[in-house]
Structure 1
Amino acid sequence: MFNEEYDVIVVGGGHAGSEAAAAAANMGSKTLLITMNLQNIAQMSCNPAMGGIAKGQIVREIDALGGYSGIVSDTSAIQFKMLNKSKGPAMWSPRVQSDRMRFAEDWRLLLESTPNLDFYQEMVNGIIVKGERVVGVKTSLGIEIGSKTVVLTNGTFLNGLIHIGDKNFGGGRAGEKAATGITEQLVDLGFDSGRMKTGTPPRVDGRSLDYSKMIEQPGDEDPEKFSFLDITQPLKSQRSCYMTYTSPVVHELLKEGFNRSPMFNGRIKSIGPRYCPSIEDKINRFADKERHQIFVEPEGWNTVEVYVNGFSTSLPEEVQFKALRSVAGFEHVKFFRPGYAIEYDYFPPTQLKHTLETKLVNGLYFAGQINGTTGYEEAASQGLMAGINASLKVQDKAPFTLRRDEAYIGVLIDDLITKGTEEPYRMFTSRAEYRTLLRQDNADLRLTPKGYDLGLATEARLKRMNEKHDAANKFVSFFKGTSVSPEKINPILESKNSAPVKQSGKLFKIFSRPNITMDDIRKIESVEAYIQNHNLDKEVIEQAEIQIKYSGYIAKEKNNADKLNRLEYVKIPENFDFSKIKSMSYEAREKLKKIQPTTVSQASRISGVSPNDISVLLVYMGR
């Protein structure tokens, strides 16, 4: 191992590292995954769940490209829910509750069965750089391993510092030591670094809880799954989660420990996630609220360990315990471990290219929380893209990037490298201006051909996608070409308080009405006969329904994207000197010099660059 050179070395075995290693190896690159503890590959450090609002779309995109997160989410799921079903399909977001131990095990076994992938357990405390290019890594034992590219996916381990009340100690997560050396070296090389904070709730013994005092939250009656492949199946049985609430009594008990909270006494100076605040932060920021939701989430099929979602905290353990015992259903709770906050180093992602390769060191890639993101899904998608691009670089092939109208992954990476982030970045549907195009149901139609061209998505996956695409389009054509008489359709329309028709018309127009559902339209014999004769599955039927009912919105959004993408093809020459454009605002020149956008479209998205600045830039470039 030590006297041979790798194509790609991935440092860190979390969600980003696992996807990066799998992608690089599956694309034919000789890959080494180095992590501090091989028993903790793809560990769910925080909540035992994958997906959720916008995050579920990312998992489906990873799956469509040929990554593994969707498959593992399915094989380790204990509950499935499609969130936001009451809203339009652009908002539908799949989420699974996971068996934490099985999730990590399934990832480990998938990686071990991946050709071209080696493993090594040790701490990497530096990279080896020659000139402006990375040529390997060095470990804490002084071992040097050569590589043409390196992907850093260090998570919360870089100089990690865990806080529980007035106690703190070094660590990357509970029970594991921090990683040292890398930050200091990168800063010496010219990188900017910063500190961020995240937190996690207590884990408790489910046998000590009274679920009769909580609200049961079962999974969907007809559960779906993440992966577009048939190798995984929807759940036949599920475990319920539960919900309870804090109270004014709980809040007062928590406040007693505020003077010992590192959040409030100044010991934590770094910024935490705005959209996943600690319980003390919620009480402080939303003082008018008398209660906050607590989600009680089982950690697996057979374990009694329970995750207390909504109670993330860094308060002293005795304060956590006393307050939690005042929550309905938690009166006799027993702790497995207290909640804690963790501070760690990150590197502002404006120092990266769209490929996630660093601008300063050739062949060095960053992915995951090192870039200032939060969440398994955001990390996994970056790992996938970094692994793909590291492999392509070794093979002297063109880099692979995704536009904002092609994937949530494209939105995520463009946001990071163009705007940067000063707080842990989390994906939301509202961040995507083309979210009607970027639905969870069509991730395979958008991305599987790209994954196939990369050598990641298999021929079987592409074949299945094409069959779905063709079947849905033919079903839509059936609606466009089939008429229905007033006698057959009016009873259905009247039952839905929809205006009756006076003459025969195309089914497409009828079905386009907002209050007419597929269940309604299937009452027409010809429709149900078509479904049965062509053996259409749920996926195809849903795809056709969305294309019919939202065709106007989809066409309008696609037109807007096409207009803006014209600027995406106006390339800015490498090392372009923005300081020469004196008619541009000083702020714009400074921001453009720092970010070094590669296209005029990217330049237009930089905070502080106005439409007038873009007009000046286009004139200067002779456009």
Structure 2
Amino acid sequence: MFKDRYDVIVVGAGHAGSEAAAAAANMGSSTLLVTMNLQNIAQMSCNPAMGGIAKGQILREIDALGGYSGLVSDTSAIQFKMLNKSKGPAMWSPRVQSDRMLFSQHWRERLEQTENLDFYQEMVSGLIVENNEIKGVKTSLGLEIKAKTVILTNGTFLNGLIHIGDKNFGGGRAGERASFGITKELEDIGFEAGRMKTGTPPRVDGRSLDFSKMEEQPGDEEPWKFSYSNETEPLKKQRSCWMSYTSPEVHNILKEGFDRSPMFNGAIQSTGPRYCPSIEDKIHRFADKDRHQMFVEPEGWNTVEYYVNGFSTSLPEDIQYKALRQCAGFENVKFFRPGYAIEYDYFPPTQLRHTLETKLVDGLYFAGQINGTTGYEEAASQGLMAGINAALKVKEKEEFTLSRSEAYIGVLIDDLITKGTEEPYRMFTSRAEYRTLLRQDNADFRLTAKSFDIGLASPQRMKLMEDKQKKSDAFVEFFKNQSVTTDEINPILEEKNSSKVDQQGKLFKIFARPNITMQDMRKLESVESFVKEHDLDNEVLEQVEVQVKYAGYIEKEKLNADKLNRLENIKIPEHFDYSLLKSMSFEAREKLTKIKPRTVSQASRVSGVNPSDVSVLLVHMGR
């Protein structure tokens, strides 16, 4: 039934598992993807959307590295929006509303067309570990499948428990059973485990809604796309989302069910996501607010099912129904299914290396919600990195990691490994120190060459990136070198209420003004001629505009990143004995002994380690 021994076995086929399997297989590793239900590959368990604040940047990084999430998001999208366009480009974040069924279907089709990848549907109930080294997995049917490396991407399935009011039952998500056995085995080996919770809102019948009472939320007039490749195209048509609100009356009805709420009656003890709270949590924590937004999102092109984003709840189903009917447009609502909360096991990620390999078991990797994260994009990026590193380990090649100044993925993994998390971790732009460098528009410049070097990004991707880089660099040089006369530029400046110039000057200086856009520059004959002659597309035009306008900020962040990287280059031996550093605080010695940071830079970010502790470490290492 199986190969004698796989290079990589991936357990779970959610967003993390799918990216892990694709990466390992595309790098030439014989790979087996094991999941409890092959019909639900890359299932969107929560809202049918990809991207958003910081998450859109992660998705573009996944695409730049050769992952599939961006491609699938493009081919299954029903609406595109670039969020935060009113702010600087470091904050611009692409987001798509997705067709839930198409998304899963297109993921499966891509995986089935991937060489070196086998599939098997069954529950993995245990691991084969010998002398702290992974040897394979055991299934619920008693099969043993051998492997050189194993990646666990179990999502919310490990001992999953679903709550609706005072009812609870085992499950990994609605309609699917939980997974048992792995947590106990890992704890017996010495792993620390914990519990987290997340939730989801009701799904409703769009035929029962009155959209005339809601605010329409259309997509962008000129939609873009996620993937840098030319395999996909921007949307030609889009579906609108809608917005409604709760009210004091709705809140009062919800409060009627608080005594039956698992969040308030003690049934749920675990921690939920701070930045995606349930509706009952919102009205409890923000008692001064008399209404909250609800985004009413279609689940696809050809379905009447809608997702009520902002109304996540585990209250009794009768309370959910009664309260939702008081919201504008929901007076005659019909449920497809009620909202619910789910508790599941996770493993504090300080037990991992930066490659996402566990410190306790050689060849065993964790990725996704098992590490305490929340969100499809966070999970997918971890799966990609785990898949890459498992494939490299099998080939006995150098590990692949990303620093905080190279990618949001680097920030995400570094935060998890060095700081851990006691609540579901979600990425925000504010978590990145160098977000002007880590923009959504330049992820290919940052990462595609790195991926190509390890054998993941294709030669076609590499050439596409190099062509874009050459065109962008040439256009920036054009602005630096091209002069413009007062007669040419002053009418444009006057039109934009920008101060006129009194002598001929370089275009770069004019273009750097905050209120002057690429569209304004293209009114100049010399600029428009350059654009047409070199066949510059929108991606290049956007890239150049950002580089010109934010040149000072970008240069400053590069200098700061270089300073950080000097500490990043000072490696700490894996078995370094911190107890020898008597001048270091006891807390720092204890934390560093547990985390085992690989570099001085990473050590400086561990909670409880202060600058004087870092100085002691540097002195000891001769720095």
- TM-score of Structure 1 vs Structure 2, range by shorter chain: over 0.9
The Cα shift of 1:103 comes to 0.2
**Structure 1 equivalent of residue 607 of structure 2:** 607
Distance in structure 2 (CA, Å) of the matches to 1:201 and 1:42: 19
**Structure 2 equivalent of residue 534 of structure 1:** 534
1:412-471 residue CA offsets vs partner (Å, 9 max, x unmatched): 000000000000000000000000000000000100001111211111111111111000
**Structure 2 equivalent of residue 221 of structure 1:** 221
Alignment of 1:188-227 (within 5 A): 188-227=188-227
Alignment of 1:152-301 (within 5 A): 152-301=152-301
Do 1:2 and 1:144's aligned partners in 2 also have CA atoms closer than 8 Å? Answer: no
1:369-427 residue CA offsets vs partner (Å, 9 max, x unmatched): 00000000000000000000000000000000000000000000000000000000000
**Structure 2 equivalent of residue 354 of structure 1:** 354
TM-score (norm 1): 1.00
Distance in structure 2 (CA, Å) of the matches to 1:331 and 1:490: 57
Distance in structure 1 (CA, Å) of the matches to 2:2 and 2:556: 56
Root-mean-square deviation over aligned CA pairs = 0.6
Alignment of 1:358-373 (within 5 A): 358-373=358-373
Alignment of 1:500 onto 2:474: no
Letter in 2 for 1:25: A
**Structure 1 equivalent of residue 561 of structure 2:** 561
Aligned-partner SS, 2:462: helix
The Cα shift of 1:2 comes to 3.9
Letter in 2 for 1:588: A
**Structure 1 equivalent of residue 581 of structure 2:** 581
1:526-546 residue CA offsets vs partner (Å, 9 max, x unmatched): 111111122111111111111
Distance in structure 2 (CA, Å) of the matches to 1:2 and 1:444: 37
Distance in structure 1 (CA, Å) of the matches to 2:613 and 2:3: 53
Distance in structure 2 (CA, Å) of the matches to 1:211 and 1:87: 30
Percent of aligned pairs sharing the same letter: 78
Distance in structure 2 (CA, Å) of the matches to 1:553 and 1:359: 38
Letter in 2 for 1:475: F
Letter in 1 for 2:174: A
Distance in structure 2 (CA, Å) of the matches to 1:531 and 1:12: 47
1:221-277 residue CA offsets vs partner (Å, 9 max, x unmatched): 000000001110000000000001000000000000000000001110000000000
Aligned length: 623
Letter in 1 for 2:223: P
**Structure 2 equivalent of residue 489 of structure 1:** 489
The Cα shift of 1:133 comes to 0.2
**Structure 2 equivalent of residue 73 of structure 1:** 73
The Cα shift of 1:163 comes to 0.2
1:172-228 residue CA offsets vs partner (Å, 9 max, x unmatched): 000000000000000000000000000000000000000000000000000000000
Gaps of 5+ in 2: none
Alignment of 1:401-440 (within 5 A): 401-440=401-440
Distance in structure 2 (CA, Å) of the matches to 1:107 and 1:4: 27
The Cα shift of 1:64 comes to 0.3
Distance in structure 2 (CA, Å) of the matches to 1:63 and 1:534: 25
Which range moved further: 458-467 or 345-354? 458-467
**Structure 2 equivalent of residue 151 of structure 1:** 151
**Structure 1 equivalent of residue 334 of structure 2:** 334
Do 1:2 and 1:143's aligned partners in 2 also have CA atoms closer than 8 Å? Answer: no
Aligned-partner SS, 2:191: coil
Letter in 2 for 1:379: A
**Structure 2 equivalent of residue 399 of structure 1:** 399
Distance in structure 2 (CA, Å) of the matches to 1:123 and 1:195: 21
Distance in structure 2 (CA, Å) of the matches to 1:170 and 1:297: 28
1:285-307 residue CA offsets vs partner (Å, 9 max, x unmatched): 00000100000000000011100
Gaps of 5+ in 1: none
**Structure 2 equivalent of residue 27 of structure 1:** 27
Distance in structure 2 (CA, Å) of the matches to 1:416 and 1:362: 19
**Structure 2 equivalent of residue 17 of structure 1:** 17
Letter in 2 for 1:273: P
The Cα shift of 1:509 comes to 0.6
TM-score (norm 2): 1.00
Distance in structure 2 (CA, Å) of the matches to 1:512 and 1:582: 53
Distance in structure 2 (CA, Å) of the matches to 1:399 and 1:194: 28
1:478-531 residue CA offsets vs partner (Å, 9 max, x unmatched): 111111111111121122222111110000011111111111111111111111
Aligned-partner SS, 2:543: helix
Distance in structure 1 (CA, Å) of the matches to 2:88 and 2:345: 39
Which range moved further: 482-491 or 252-261? 482-491
**Structure 2 equivalent of residue 390 of structure 1:** 390
**Structure 1 equivalent of residue 102 of structure 2:** 102
**Structure 2 equivalent of residue 571 of structure 1:** 571
The Cα shift of 1:82 comes to 0.4
Do 1:417 and 1:595's aligned partners in 2 also have CA atoms closer than 8 Å? Answer: yes
The Cα shift of 1:3 comes to 5.8
Aligned-partner SS, 1:266: coil
**Structure 2 equivalent of residue 303 of structure 1:** 303
Do 1:21 and 1:31's aligned partners in 2 also have CA atoms closer than 8 Å? Answer: yes
Aligned-partner SS, 2:295: strand
- Segments ≥4 residues shifted beyond 3 Å: none
